[in-house]
Copies of this chain bind each other. A is one copy, B any other.
Amino acid sequence: MNSSTTEKIKIQKADKSRIDQVDFENLVFGNVFSDHMFECDYKDGSWQTPTIRPYGSITLSPAAKVFHYGQAVFEGMKAFKDEDGKVWLFRPDQNAKRINKSSVRLAIPEFPEEIFFEALTTLVKMDRDWVKSGEGNSLYIRPFVFATQAGVGASPSTEYKFMILMSPVRAYYAGDIQVEIAEHYSRSANGGVGAAKAAGNYAAQFFPTNLAREKGFQQIIWTDASNHEYLEEAGTMNVFFRVNDTLLTAPISDRILDGVTRKSVIALAKRDNIAVEERRVLVSEIVEASKNGSLKEIFGAGTAAVISPINAFSFQNTTHNLEKQDDSYAVKFKKELTDIQRNRCEDPFNWRFEVV
């Protein structure tokens, strides 16, 4: 292996790339990883020895607190390659800030933003061949941090590991999806960790989601845990409802993730003079809008799925189907977003960040 350093990061290069072994036409989301990864350990009160090394195993104590107490948070972001071979990130500042917000809520020490950026850009540059151009292709980037101190006392870890992995991906959902509105299970509560990208939030959804899948739904739209009256988010996506020509979405709260795609859609809608209401959305009003024909669209918004049209929802054992709209907002925002992400248009919001 070749060794070198950037200003802050120690680099060990892989002897040989694994890229030739990868079938880029048949990728399962998040199952293949690029040649390198970033790693940085927290101990004795500071983040130490940031290192990029070949993607590979890590060795931990089985008593590491992540296994026992779930102290772990993550981010999801993507790199895109335009037709000229330039590589772009989308609003990476948002992820650098949000992982630290999540960390604070989970009693994890914050990670320095400047090392986050240097690690991210150095890693993407080194593995830029893994970013494929073309619609739907991207390099999914997974920064995450977890507790490594060995000990089964229920207290915050004194040691952590921050890592970045990268995985070439294609579209998350192949087509439109059907969802179930939660009537029994819940994702988060007031005063809980729903606003954090906490690892445990996802595990908690798998069992109810399996039950929904058995009934033919790909996702659950979560509702408030108290009375299941208000529509919240879909667990891996925020959710928008188009009633007539107005977009409705739940406001950010300590139950709902402050999604980067969500806020980008809201900004695009405002620019495009589409009314957006960030407010509590009643299940009953969406059911009513479905019945009276004013509910035109539902779509999810998230980094992995980008914009994911939802063509049916189930509530109280009744399935409500949505007709395709000629002037679909989902299609419109997906195009506007991906055009910005892939450097196919102007970037009036300064969202694009070139990796050079």
Contact = CB atoms under 8 A, between A and B. Distances in A.
Given A152-B140, A189-B225, A207 B105 contact: yes
B206 A67 contact: no
A137 interface: no
Contact of A72 (B61, B70, B163): B70
A120 B33 CA distance: 37
A351 B257 CA distance: 45
Contact of A62 (B57, B201, B203): B57
B192 A146 contact: no
Contacts of A207: 104-107
A69 interface: yes
Contacts of A188: 189, 192
Nearest to A172: B153
Nearest to A149: B31
B199 A68 contact: yes
A69 B31 contact: no
Copies in the complex: 2
Interface in A147-182: 147, 150-156, 163, 165, 167, 182
B191 A200 contact: no
Contacts of A147: 203
A69 B151 contact: no
Contacts of A203: 69-72, 106-107, 147, 193, 198-200
A58 B202 CA distance: 24
A238 interface: no
Nearest to A183: B191
A72 B67 contact: yes
A251 interface: no
A74 interface: yes
B191 A184 contact: yes
Interface hub of A37, A55, A57 (most chain B Cβ within 10 A):
A57
| Most chain B beta-carbon contacts within 10 A, residue among A37, A151, A189, A198 | A189
Contact of A61 (B57, B154, B191): B57
Q: Which of A70, A72, A165, A202 has the most CB of B within 10 A?
A: A70
A124 to B, nearest CB: 16
A192 B200 contact: no
Interface string A283-302: 00000000000000000000
A57 B57 contact: no
Contacts of A146: 67
A204 interface: yes
Given A60-B60, A142-B152, A198-B204, 4 more contacts: A30-B63, A57-B61, A70-B199, A70-B202
14 contacts: A57-B60, A57-B62, A58-B60, A59-B59, A70-B72, A70-B199, A106-B203, A106-B206, A107-B210, A188-B192, A189-B192, A192-B225, A200-B201, A200-B203
Interface of A: 28-31, 33, 37, 39, 55, 57-63, 66-72, 74, 104-107, 140, 142, 144, 146-147, 150-156, 163, 165, 167, 182, 184-193, 198-204, 206-208, 210, 225-226, 235-236, 304
